[in-house]
Structure 1
């Protein structure tokens, strides 16, 4: 996964750093286990193919997360093709 970062907008979603870290832990656990969240069938197949080192393609997943306010927000997790960086970001930033 390389370095894991969140955009400023992603970080600003959360009132509490502890809650933000809990959400990140849950999302990344799903991500590294191959649970691509809300992605469509074709996108899931592309992610599976991208796991092959010979493919060298990025991996994208989409999740709905519950904020402290009770509001749900959709986020993306994207790992670059060279596996140097994984970014958590909002849908509007994708």
Structure 2
């Protein structure tokens, strides 16, 4: 059972540069979803479809300055990951197979 994410109204960490793989951009475009909406979810602590332990890891990562990962299942059933690096230099959209 997945516990609901703790949603915040403001940003919880810095995103850094926004990057995306061609595969992730294609899946997002096919799902007709805004890349900005996914960024906002990630930034506010809506980690998407992750296990409870991964959610807990993200909460600790915000404080400890570690890598933060979100996973979103889009229309059509494809999953896109967002990864914010530990140094907060960049946040990257990618497919699970590209991780």
TM-score interval, normalised by the smaller of the two chains: 0.7 to 0.9
Structure 1 residue 56, shift from structure 2 partner = 2.1
Give the 3-state SS of the residue equivalent to 2:37 in structure 1. Answer: helix
Larger Rg: 1
For structure 2, the residue ranges without an aligned partner over 5 or more in a row are 1-14
User: The residue matched to 2:87 in structure 1 has which SS?
Assistant: coil
Which consecutive unaligned segments of at least 5 residues does structure 1 have? none
Separation in 2 of the partners of 1:33 and 1:56?
A: 16
RMSD: 1.7
Q: Note if 1:65 corresponds to 2:65.
A: no
Asked if residue 75 in structure 1 is aligned to residue 84 in structure 2, the reply is no
Normalising by structure 2, report the TM-score: 0.76
| Aligned with 1:9 (options 1, 5, 23) | 23
Query: When the two structures are aligned, how many residues end up with a matched partner?
Result: 84
State the shift of 1:4 in Å. Answer: 0.7
CA distance in 1 between partners of 2:89 and 2:61 (Å): 14
Structure holding more strand per residue: 1
TM-score, normalization by structure 1: 0.80
Other-structure match for 1:25: 36
Q: Deviations over 1:47-78 (max 9, x none)?
A: 001111xx121000100112xxxx22101000
